[in-house]
Amino acid sequence: MDAAEFRRRGKEMVDYVADYLENIEKRQVYPDVEPGYLRSLIPEEAPEEAESYEDVFKDIERVIMPGVTHWHSPYFYAYFPTANSFPAMLADMLCGAIGCIGFSWAASPACTELETVMLDWLGKMLKLPEDFLAGTEGRGGGVIQGTASEATLIALLAARSKIVKLIQADHPDRSETHIISKLVAYSSDQAHSSVERAGLIGGLRMKKIPTDNKFSVRGDALQKVLEEDRATGLIPFFFCATLGTTPSCAFDCVTELGPICNAEKIWMHIDAAYAGSAFICPEFRPLLNGIEFADSFNFNPHKWLLVNFDCSHSSYVISHLISLQHWQIPLGRRFRSLKIWFVFRMYGLKGLQHVGLAKEFESLVRADQRFEISADVVLGLVCFRLKGSNELNETLLKRINNARKIHLVPCQLAGKFVLRFAVCARTTESRHVQEAWCHISHLASELLQELPH
Amino acid sequence: MDAAEFRRRGKEMVDYVADYLENIEKRQVYPDVEPGYLRSLIPEEAPEEAESYEDVFKDIERVIMPGVTHWHSPYFYAYFPTANSFPAMLADMLCGAIGCIGFSWAASPACTELETVMLDWLGKMLKLPEDFLAGTEGRGGGVIQGTASEATLIALLAARSKIVKLIQADHPDRSETHIISKLVAYSSDQAHSSVERAGLIGGLRMKKIPTDNKFSVRGDALQKVLEEDRATGLIPFFFCATLGTTPSCAFDCVTELGPICNAEKIWMHIDAAYAGSAFICPEFRPLLNGIEFADSFNFNPHKWLLVNFDCSHSSYVISHLISLQHWQIPLGRRFRSLKIWFVFRMYGLKGLQHVGLAKEFESLVRADQRFEISADVVLGLVCFRLKGSNELNETLLKRINNARKIHLVPCQLAGKFVLRFAVCARTTESRHVQEAWCHISHLASELLQELPH
């Protein structure tokens, strides 16, 4: 394919993409396929000879689309949102064309520098403390990670490295291996599985702190475990606080936890993967109070800030990172800051400060006596269930997903099976939420009628 | 920006991308900017109000391009190639539009399934042993990693986990911490820095095996270190072989090393990040002999196989991975297999089997008595230098890069400062290589004339 053909095919693809997103409502949000469906639809080996573009293009609808879960459909309420916007897609086209690998400044100065400045823009939008900004001679700074999983791992490794140096400064005779064998890291019992996995990867002991009835870690709960662990000779060194947990969007109480961590010389990392984007709104910024006690902070603009995946923002207080040469696992990097730049300029801060429809869905649930709300609704997630057994709710969810009209996933909260309704697509409107509720309510009525009285 | 505007702007961007790549020769390959250049060119904060697309678009040439190192210029001979092709860019546009996060089968079945089948296509193109293929009920399989760094880390962690289980099966009293403190992993002294870093991240001891005069690790060198280490009570568990080292594209002798690793129950990982793509050519496939002894294998189609970054291919013998739930660091994943699918079909296997111009450059160097070739030229990399001091060669490289006509980076080989000439851009032709040589030769003449006789 030469440049002339790319001009033609590229423009066709732009139209295909626009058509896809404009008409996404008409596609079934969750596919009908069974595992293994795709293998039989395409050859077992790559072709010897080149095929025509027409054949490849036709296969998008024949092979790919029947197996796609449409995350940008206004009927998609599963997991958490992943962002998608036209400016971000334009920036990604440019990123692909430049196609540089930004592993050092010289490898492409613009790639490194735009990233630094964009993460300062983000930091200022979130009103992060000065320590987290690069500025021209700052003490901190941000970096784009692929995902929050990587960000947590890097923070954990930096903390490990810091505590080993700290202890060895006082006790030069203690080996690194010995110190590491005594370390213990903590997170909420509601924390994302990637936090536990970071511990596994780093070969580090990790414990879960029990949460209160709002699914938040409180200061006294952490303090209790710290005392127990110190008494047995363990060395607490890392706490991962979650702002906006995956099951219920709960918030650990960092204003209580931060001072404890600081006093006990424990690295506090804040994982706000989902909720972080909301902190650009003045009304939600108080949820980030306590950030001043943290050593590192991460959130995913690719969830809510209209910046296409992958784009996870990590900020560090740089003086805490001296021992870690690199702030990321991979060496090479794409020019991902371009999409932040395009999106922020094309929307402006005001254009990004919107959070809304979850409260509307919550009201609908609360107005129906058969249902209960299972956790505080703070941002875009509603956790709800039928009053009754877990089995009943499992059946309801199965029927909702089998009907293929909308797509939800469940969570467990305090032993209860709970349905999660996450407002996801940029194009979700009030009418979609109303329609989703009518559908759920109707399926619930059918289910309850079938039950013996 | 709505879909209608995206249709217009997207088509303009397609033309901009085509123009950029068609005329890339006319741009200076390496930028003139100094560190910090970009910050002063843009505002310190994100705008409150949305800006016009015209303003954003104009800033590509004003802000970004002056700081870009043009990796796809035919005058770029630094590092190793990174791929870029029109079909891959079309696939990336589609990937952005679908915008799914493929962390599980249900999250988007097509995303998981196409990846499995594409990595089988790749495995068959490389004639990997059956054990590395997923098939319909295979024992192995591939996964797309972002970079080779991640692939090495995952292999190392899997090996760590396997050896701990193996030892604990015989000695249930030994703690994981104790076992890990005795482990030792190995790589070539020519291995990429990411291998050493994987050891740091995993908290694992790592040693470098000395190479022979061809910069290859041989069986006897490994055997010697193994014996020494076992004698002191260490437990060897992992060897990372490199096929195509970063400094000189040397090949560790895996037909000697593999049987040793198998006999000693050491996990052998093969890192063929750069060279791997060449193994699709029958004439280069013998370089991969010995793969049958390996537990895991990785190479980067994003280097040579026209698949845009990031796309690193890892294959594992799955039965060796039982203990590691996930094959990657990040949880979320983009739909990266689309670009493999587009590229392989649009080029066909025959269209991808081209390796050439480095030999032409080698002949030019060999025909000039003032120069010497510093390592065997096997694929697309020529390591060369002026006969004489390191200082002389450092000066030559400085002048080459300061002239901004072409861009090279150096390496150290056996204490010598060496210039690396890597054929990188898809559009590099014989005339560019000839021109590059004339330029280097001319600068060398100038330099040598200045020297006192």
A302 and A207 share one domain:
yes
Do A173 and A280 share a structural domain? yes
Cα distance from B416 to chain A (closest Cα, Å)? 23
Residue percentage of chain A with pLDDT more than 70: 91
Averaged pLDDT for residues B167-182: 91
Please check whether residue B87 lies inside any domain of the structure: no
Which residue in chain A has the smallest CA separation from B83? A99
Provide the 3-class DSSP secondary structure of residue B406.
Answer: coil
* pLDDT, tens digit (0-9, with 9 covering 90-100), for A292-303: 999 999 988 776
Which residues of chain A make contact with B35, given a CB cutoff of 8 A?
A: 105, 109, 113
Residue that terminates a domain, selected from A351, A370, A405: A351
Buried b (16+ CB within 10 A) or exposed e, B310-340: bbbbbbbbbebbeebebbbbbbbbbbbbbbb
Structural domain tally of chain A? 3
| pTM for the whole structure | 0.91
Task: Decide: helix, strand or coil at residue B140.
Answer: strand
For the domain that residue B444 is a member of, what is the CATH number? Answer: 3.90.1150.10
Query: Which domain-ending residue is among A317, A351, A385?
Result: A351
Residues 6+ apart with CB under 8 A from B337: B111, B114, B115, B117, B118, B119, B144
Same domain, B150 and B106: yes
Residue B154 lies in a domain: yes
Q: How many CB pairs under 8 A join A and B?
A: 387
How close does chain A come to B368, measured CA to CA in Å?
A: 30
Q: Is residue A85, in this structure, part of any structural domain at all?
A: no
Q: Which of A161-175, A360-374, B124-138 has the lowest mean pLDDT?
A: B124-138
Asked, for residue B89, whether it belongs to a domain, the answer is no
Name which of A355, A361, A357 is nearest A384 in CA terms.
A361
Please tell me which of the candidates B108, B149, B332 has its beta carbon nearest to residue A330.
B149
Residue B88 placed within a domain: no
Q: Residue A399: inside a domain, yes or no?
A: yes
Domain of B176, CATH number, reads 3.40.640.10
CB-based contact A93 B90, cutoff 8 Å: no
The pLDDT assigned to A309 comes to: 60
Chain-chain contact of B310 with A331 (C-beta, under 8 angstroms): no
Question: Cα distance from A368 to chain B (closest Cα, Å)?
Answer: 30
Query: Is B203 in Cβ contact with A201 (below 8 Å)?
Result: no
The answer to whether residues B238 and B160 touch, using CB atoms and an 8 Å cutoff, is yes
| Residue finishing a domain among B291, B325, B351 | B351
AA letter at A138: G
- Cα–Cα distances (Å) from B391 to A62, B290, B355, B373, in that order, read 61, 40, 33, 17
State which residues form the domain around B372: 357-450
What is the CA B335 to chain-centroid distance, rounded? 20
Of B1, B109, B116, the CB nearest to A87: B1
pLDDT of residue B323: 37
Same domain, yes or no, for B21 and B62? yes
What percent helix, strand, coil does chain B show, rounded to 5?
A: 50, 15, 40
Distance in Å, alpha carbon of A367 to nearest chain B alpha carbon: 31
A197 contact partners, CB below 8 Å, separation of at least 6: A149, B326
The CA distances from residue B417 to B45, B188, B232, B316, B409, in Å, are 44, 19, 36, 37, 11
Residue A183 has pLDDT above 70, yes or no: yes
Closest CA to B155 of B262, B273, B238: B238
Position with higher pLDDT, B350 vs A318: B350
Does the beta-carbon distance from B110 to A65 stay under 8 Å?
yes
Whether B116 and B50 map to the same domain: the answer is: no
Select from A308, A255, A284 the least CA-distant residue to A127.
A284
- Per the DSSP assignment, residues forming a β-bridge with B144 are B313
Q: Coil, helix or strand for A389? A: coil
Percent of chain B with pLDDT over 70: 91
* Subunit contact B50:A346, Cβ cutoff 8 A: yes
Contact status, residue B447 vs residue B399, Cβ threshold 8 Å: yes
| A17/B96 Cβ within 8 A | yes
- Predicted local distance difference test score (pLDDT) of residue B322: 38
* pLDDT of the residue at A398: 97
Tally the residues of chain A.
Answer: 453
**Measured between alpha carbons, how far is B219 from B231 in angstroms, rounded to an integer?**
18
Residue A417 CA to residue A414 CA, distance in Å, equals 9
Segment B377-397 mean pLDDT: 96
The pLDDT, as a whole number, for residue A291 is: 95
Q: What is the mean pLDDT of residues A198-220?
A: 93
Identify the pLDDT of residue A330: 61
> Nearest C-alpha of chain B: how many angstroms from A104?
11
Alpha carbon of residue B237 to chain centroid: 24
* Alpha-carbon torsion angle B51, B57, B60, B63, nearest 10: -30
Q: Do A341 and B88 touch (CB under 8 A)?
A: no
- Asked whether the beta carbons of A141 and A132 are under 8 A apart, the reply is yes
Domain-located, residue A13 = yes
User: What average pLDDT does the structure give for chain B?
Assistant: 90
The pLDDT score that the predictor gives to residue A320 is 47
Q: Are residues B148 and B237 in the same domain?
A: yes
CATH number, domain of B54, equals 1.20.1340.10
Whether residue A210 lies inside any domain: the answer is yes
For tokens 């990123």, what's the residue? Answer: A95
- Verify that A134 and A115 share a domain, yes or no: yes
Q: Are residues B287 and B305 in the same domain?
A: yes
Tokens of A146: 């692929």
At residue B453, the pLDDT reads 67
pLDDT at A280 over 60: yes
Residue from A164, A175, A204, A346 to probe the interface with B (highest B Cβ count within 10 Å): A346
Regarding whether A361 and A228 lie in a shared domain, the answer is no
Among B3, B42, B89, the residue with its CB nearest the CB of A21 is: B3
Q: Nearest residue on chain B to A1, judged by CA atoms? A: B86
Q: Which residues in chain A have their CB less than 8 angstroms from residue B63's CB?
A: 110, 114
Average pLDDT over residues A301-308: 68
CB A72 within 8 A of CB B99: yes
Residue whose C-alpha is closest to residue B201's, from A265, A200, A269: A200
The whole-chain average pLDDT of chain A stands at: 90
Judgement on whether residues B127 and B215 belong to the same structural domain of the protein? yes
Nearest Cβ partner of A108 from B55, B68, B344? Answer: B68
- What's the pLDDT score for residue B312? 65
CA-closest candidate to residue B336, choices B95, B84, B94:
B95
Statement to judge: residues B325 and B366 lie in one domain: no
Is residue B296 located within the same domain as residue B419? Answer: no
Instruction: Identify the residue with better confidence: A265 or A134.
Output: A265
In sequence order, which residues have a C-beta less than 8 Å from that of residue B262 and are 6 or more positions away? Answer: B268, B293
Q: Are B358 and B382 in contact (CB under 8 A)?
A: yes
Q: Which amino acid is at B172?
A: P
